[in-house]
A and B are shown apart, each in its own frame.
Chain A
Amino acid sequence: MSTVSNIVVIGNGPVGHKFLESLVESGKAADYNVVVFGEEPRPAYDRVHLTAWFETRDAADINMVKPGFYQDNGFVLHTHDKVVAIDRNKRTVTSEKGVTVAYDKIILATGSYPFVPPVPGHDRENVFVYRTIEDLEAITAAAEKGKTGAVIGGGLLGLEAAKALKDLDLQTHVVEFAPRLMAVQVDDGGGKMLRHKIEDLGVAVHTQKNTKSITDGESAVHKMSFADGEELEIDIIVFSAGIRPRDELAKSSDLAMGERGGIVINNSCQTSDDDIYAIGEVALWDNKIFGLIAPGNAMAQAACDHLTATGSSEFAGADMSTKLKLMGVDVASIGDAHGNTPDSRSYTYVNDRDEVYKKIVVSGDDKYLLGAVLIGDASEYGTLLQYMLNKMELPAEPEGMILPQTDGAATGLGVDALPDTAQLCSCLNVTKGDIVDAVACGATNMGDIKESTKAATGCGGCSALVTQVLNSELEKLGVEVNTDLCEHFAYTRQDLYNIIRVENIRTFDELLEKHGKGLGCEICKPTAGSLLASCWNDYILKDNLQSLQDTNDYFMGNMQKDGTYSVVPRVAGGEITPEKLIVLGEVAKEYDLYTKITGGQRIDLFGARSEQLPAIWKTLIDAGFETGHAYGKSLRTVKSCVGSTWCRYGVQDSMGMSLILENRYKGLRSPHKLKMAVSGCTRECAEAQSKDVGVIATENGWNMYVCGNGGMKPRHADLFASDLDDETLLKYIDRFFMFYVRTGDRLQRTSVWMDNMEGGLDYLKSVIIDDKLGVCAELEAEMEHVVDTYQCEWKTTIEDSEKVKRFEHFVNSDAVDDNVKFEREREQIRPVSKSIEFVEVS
């Protein structure tokens, strides 16, 4: 291309941004001058996850723009500047701030705005909509002063907004004009069940209520008056009564529009002017507006393909099936949920006890699925959606698809029947074929799949189905999905945990005799040792436990490459007195140990021979130290920052909290090591978001983060709960750790555990915060036992002369191992360098 042409993108929402990303992916970005206008004060953010803003109240957390995205690609972005005119004759675009740019092509991605019915009083103060970060900021500020809130509109977004008000500690009401909630997606029966569920969340539901006016209240800010004569006194009102396309620019520049608004587009997303495209929620295709993100993304791709002539995708309509993303409330609607198709049949399953309602709508001959409604249990969502989208033939008795399985019979045809083109993840547009390819390239678990295909990283609604495809593919490849721990136990680590608990098993011998075979091995023995310790917390060198311990646990130090050990006393929270520092220095000097400050805010002394360990530890323990468990699959350190005591920014005593945490969880044996950190403010000097559990101080308490990891595959921790008081924080951490101890795999860090957990973070929250499994009391009691039975295993050891003897290198001589040799480097010892070639096994 010789002349560079100008593209002007109007609107910097998720879909406008998707267009820019597609442009970059097409490899043609350099052929264009791209200028983007966005009315909002910040670059594109993820509106679908708008509600997540409340978790941190930090816009950065839902930002969609990778660092350097605009600069690297030469895109010019004008934020906070609305386009006010398109001059199709002069071919220019002009903004509110007076910027005028020439265009060759325009992308209109102006989205939509919340519709506010012209009820008298709708423009009063403390009346809001729910669309932008600014809206949420205003609602949050108002909530601090108010006690009650109402959402007008009981649709998908209205319910999400209601949950948000509830979480802001407002007494919350939903006011719906129709006779039921989510009237568009859900039928009468489902609506009833849904209502129960929402009421269970503590939200009052009012249906068939037509708001006539909003006036001054007596006991609250407003009084809402309804057509039926009833009234509701309320402090805060949020309108969520539908959306309208922001088509004003199209109107003023004479583009073809729909009768009720929206800019008419063809399959390439061109408007009535070939040089102007419209995509996202502002576009009208086949007389329909699509208020979901997936169709918007598909439009962005189609427009980009057409404009750059690099692809051939066309927009061909989109499926409007949806799943509500409210914690603890499963609601899904697929296709023709109301059975409007002539001659269709429906099957319904209702279970009042568990509050489950499921309905499928099928063709008159029972062959094809047309629609479905699932309330209370949406686990079949993925499968049913695939049946409908791919027009797959239903099993002979289609009702089996939604009936509870009592005889273990499989529902439907299973994932094998899906064509490779079936889109499993609509958020990220991942097909079954993509998953199959990923498995063929070596993916063996959900973590791998997420990383290589991005499937299930959006709304998460597809994760059950993706897991099924993954497992079925693994099986086909002959990758036996063998979850046996090793040849001695035909059980998983989880199974063994349950067996040990339920049968009250105290030794490995008993476990092996009852449930295993052979002698055991270097895999099952340490695993059993760890499980027994998590459950009963006996001294690890007890006679019948010591042979299970890996050498590091046995010698209570990490074996180094030359067979010597390291000595790492606990320095809780990294806080240490000068006296103790001196003792460490003296010990290091006396035994000539290599001394280093670790990455975990403590001091490591290297090069101790096994026979020196008891004497070294005796000196340390006499000086008040205890073991640091640097060797165990157990709590390592709680990294800290100085916090409010010294730091000018600190808002809580992070140092004090790190001590509480380290002293509480020290000695807890777990599937893999555990690391924690506490920061005194959001500057995060303790790097808490890279830890298994991170705690960050807020004005009101503590934010708790979980499942972070440094190491080989870093993972940012997820925000788990906000503004906790000390007691709740400890309670949640107790439950979190014990749930991990119960369900983690051997040597699986919490990060990988989370990435493989079906339901992910929301599931974990439902277990730990809402006690969905009813196990929280047990988890807390189990943790209490571990905390109460803590002992410093080095102290116990040096007090037992029989144990101490076993640290001698030779059973029959006082000689020392003459193979251990040191040389000096930078004034300290180091193992004599020799080039060794080793094969690393497992």
Chain B
Amino acid sequence: MSNWADICSIDEILPNMGRCALVDGEQVAIFRVKTIGQDIDDQFYAVNNFCPFSDANIISRGIVGSISDQVVVASPLYKQRFDLATGQCIEDESISLKTYPVRIAGDKIQLAA
């Protein structure tokens, strides 16, 4: 569990955007979230890249946003939103995305493999 793997450097994911990584054959969407106007570090989230509504690997290409304090991503095809911290779908209680531990080490983004 404490097997952290380097994925890419921080700069390869731009603020408030996502990229997809291949980790042990699984597609993981990693997001870097920057809170504007506040002096806090960028937050990183990782969820499964597979959108269960469209059966396509596209979550990383969604728009990042917030609903009150929840940080969410909207699937780019049919626009269902998912809580990035928990993977829970906002529109459908029975659906959630798998989440992955993610951390920063130096200038690298790491996922637990």
Contact = CB atoms under 8 A, between A and B. Distances in A.
Partners in one complex: yes
Interface of A: 487-488, 509, 512-513, 518-522, 524-526, 543, 546-548, 550-552, 554-555, 559, 561-563, 610, 806, 809-813, 815, 817, 819-820, 834, 836, 838-842
Residue of B17, B21, B36 most packed against chain A (CB within 10 A): B36
Given A526-B63, A547-B15, A839 B78 contact: yes
Interface in B56-77: 56-58, 61-68, 71-72, 74, 76-77
Given A512-B36, A513-B36, A838-B78, A563 B57 contact: yes
A515 to B, nearest CB: 11
A809 B22 CA distance: 9
B62 A522 contact: yes
22 contacts: A513-B36, A518-B66, A519-B36, A519-B64, A519-B65, A520-B65, A521-B72, A521-B74, A522-B81, A524-B65, A547-B14, A547-B63, A548-B63, A554-B61, A563-B58, A809-B20, A809-B57, A810-B20, A811-B30, A812-B21, A820-B57, A836-B54
B57 A551 contact: no
Nearest to A526: B63
A519 B16 contact: yes
A183 B31 CA distance: 74
Contacts of B12: 811
A364 B64 CA distance: 67
Given A819-B56, A840-B78, A811 B20 contact: yes
Given A547-B15, A561-B77, A819 B36 contact: no
B91 interface: yes
Nearest to B111: A812
A820 B65 CA distance: 27
A284 to B, nearest CB: 64
B53 A839 contact: yes
Nearest to A835: B55
B47 interface: no
Nearest to B15: A547
Given A559-B77, A815-B22, A519 B8 contact: no
Contacts of A518: 65-66, 68
B79 interface: yes
Contacts of A813: 21-22
Q: Which 5 A-B pairs have the closest CB atoms?
A: A521-B65, A563-B56, A551-B76, A519-B66, A522-B74
B66 A839 contact: no
A562 B33 CA distance: 26
Given A562-B55, A563-B77, A813-B22, 8 more contacts: A519-B33, A522-B63, A551-B63, A562-B56, A809-B57, A811-B12, A838-B53, A839-B78
A841 B91 contact: yes
B62 to A, nearest CB: 7
B44 interface: no
Residue of A809, A810, A815, A839 most packed against chain B (CB within 10 A): A810
A544 to B, nearest CB: 9
Contacts of B35: 519
A509 B36 contact: yes
Interface string B63-105: 1111110011010111111000000000110000000000000
B106 interface: no
A477 B7 CA distance: 54
Nearest to A551: B76
Residue of B27, B56, B58 most packed against chain A (CB within 10 A): B56
A802 to B, nearest CB: 10
B2 to A, nearest CB: 20
B50 interface: yes
Contacts of B80: 839, 841
Given A815-B22, A819-B56, A522 B79 contact: yes
A214 B19 CA distance: 85
A512 B66 CA distance: 13
Contacts of B63: 521-522, 525-526, 547-548, 550-551
Contacts of B30: 811
A488 B20 CA distance: 27
Nearest to A552: B76
A513 B37 CA distance: 6
A326 B37 CA distance: 53
Contacts of A820: 56-57
B64 A547 contact: yes
B83 to A, nearest CB: 13
Contacts of B81: 522, 841
B42 to A, nearest CB: 12
